[in-house]
Amino acid sequence: MKILVTGGAGYIGSVLVPKLLELGHEVTVIDSFMFGQRSLFDVMYNRNLNLLKGDVRDEDLMSEHMKDKDFIIPLAALVGAPLCDKSPEEAKGVNLDAIELIIKLRDKDTQKIIFPNTNSGYGYMEEGTSFCDEQSPLHPVSLYGKLKVDAEKALLDDGEAITLRLATVFGISPRMRLDLLVNDFVFTAVKERRMKVFQPHAKRNYIHVRDVVKAFIHAMNNFEKMKNEPYNVGLSTANLSKQELCEEIKKQISEFEYEISEGEDPDKRDYIVSNEKIEKTGFKPDHSIQDGIRELIKGYQEIDSKEGLSNI
C-alpha cells in the first residue's frame, strides 16, 4: 500500500517507517526535522521511501502528497505538556489545525486515517471508578492533552479513522526521547543512582515503542473491523505508580535509591487504564516493562549525557 506518515522521523516514526518499508509498503514521510535528527538514514537506500522536509500546515504540500495514499498516519505533533505550553499557538497549528487540514483534503472513500492520541486525555479517574476505558469521560489536564482530544473527536466525527490512545511510551528509538517517564527515570538511575519522586502514588499506563508500531500495523490489517472507534493501547500488566516503577528499576539496578518528596509534580495525571477493547481484536504487546528497563539500561551505559542521546 501507499502510506503517508507525517512526523515520520520522530520517536515513534523512526521505528514505524522502517517496519512499514520492511513489509513492502511505499512510504512518504513529511517531517520538519526541527531537531536536526538523522533517524531514518539507515533506510535511505530503500526505493519505496520518499522523504520530504516540510510543514504539515502547508496546504499545497499536503494536498500534493496525500493524493494517492491508502493510509495516512499523522504522527507530526508538538509532544508533551511543557513543549505545548511553551508554544501554544504553534501547538494548536500542528496538533489540531493540521489534522483538520488532513480531514479537509482527504478522499474519505479511499483514504483511511490511523491517529495516535494519548491516554493522558483521561487526566484522572472519577470518584467511584476503578479504571478508565474508552467510555470513560475525558479530563485532559494540559493543553497537549486537550488538543489531542479535540483532534480525535474531529477524526471520529468525520469517519474512516481509528484513534489509538497511547499509554506513556518507553524504549529505545533511533530518535530518542528522554522526556518520557520510564526513559527519564532509567537514565537517572543509570547515571546518578538516585532521584527524588514527586506524587509517588500517581499511576499511569505504559507501552513499548515497538508495541505502538505493532498496534498501528494491527489497525491497518483490521481496519474495517476496528474503524471509527478509539482504542487504549498499553500494557495491562503495567498500570504502575511512580514508586512501583522505581521499584522495578531497582530490581535491575540494585544501587539505585529514590527519595519520596512532598513537593508537587506539575503533571497531575493519575489513572488506571483498561486495554481490553483492543486486546479483544487480537492485539497483544510483546515487550514488558521489565524488558524495556533492561533495554534502556543497556542503551544508556555508553552515553555520557542527555544531550549526547537526544542529539542522535
Residue-range definition of the domain harbouring residue 244: 181-204+237-310
302 and 197 both lie in a single domain: yes
Phi, psi of 90 (to 5 degrees): -65, -40
Residue 69: pLDDT above 70? yes
Domain count, the chain: 2
130 and 215 both lie in a single domain: yes
User: In the chain, pLDDT over 70 holds for what percent of residues?
Assistant: 97
Q: Do the strands 239-241 and 203-208 form a parallel or antiparallel pair, or are they unpaired?
A: antiparallel
- Mean pLDDT (the chain, rounded): 94
pLDDT in tens, 230-254: 999 999 999 999 999 999 999 999 9
pLDDT in tens, 282-305: 999 999 999 999 999 999 988 776
According to the model, what pLDDT value does residue 307 have?
66
CB 149 within 8 A of CB 140: yes
For residue 208, the cross-strand partners are 170
60 and 191 both lie in a single domain: no
247 and 131 both lie in a single domain: no
CATH code at 87?
Answer: 3.40.50.720
130 and 268 both lie in a single domain: no
pLDDT in tens, 147-171: 999 999 999 999 999 999 999 999 9
Whether 176 is covered by a domain: the verdict is no
72 and 187 both lie in a single domain: no
82 and 211 both lie in a single domain: yes
According to the model, what pLDDT value does residue 297 have?
97
187 and 153 both lie in a single domain: no
Flag the least confident range among 45-59, 266-280, 289-303.
Answer: 266-280
Whether 115 is covered by a domain: the verdict is yes
Distance in angstroms between the alpha carbons of the first and the last residue of the chain: 30
Question: Residue 137 gets which letter from DSSP?
Answer: P
Q: Do the strands 194-198 and 161-166 form a parallel or antiparallel pair, or are they unpaired?
A: unpaired
215 and 254 both lie in a single domain: no
CATH code at 198?
Answer: 3.90.25.10
Whether 160 is covered by a domain: the verdict is yes
Whether 43 is covered by a domain: the verdict is yes
Q: Model-level pTM greater than 0.85?
A: yes
For residue 214, CA distances in Å to 16, 209, 230 come to: 8, 9, 16
157 and 191 both lie in a single domain: no
165 and 44 both lie in a single domain: yes
Whether 175 is covered by a domain: the verdict is no
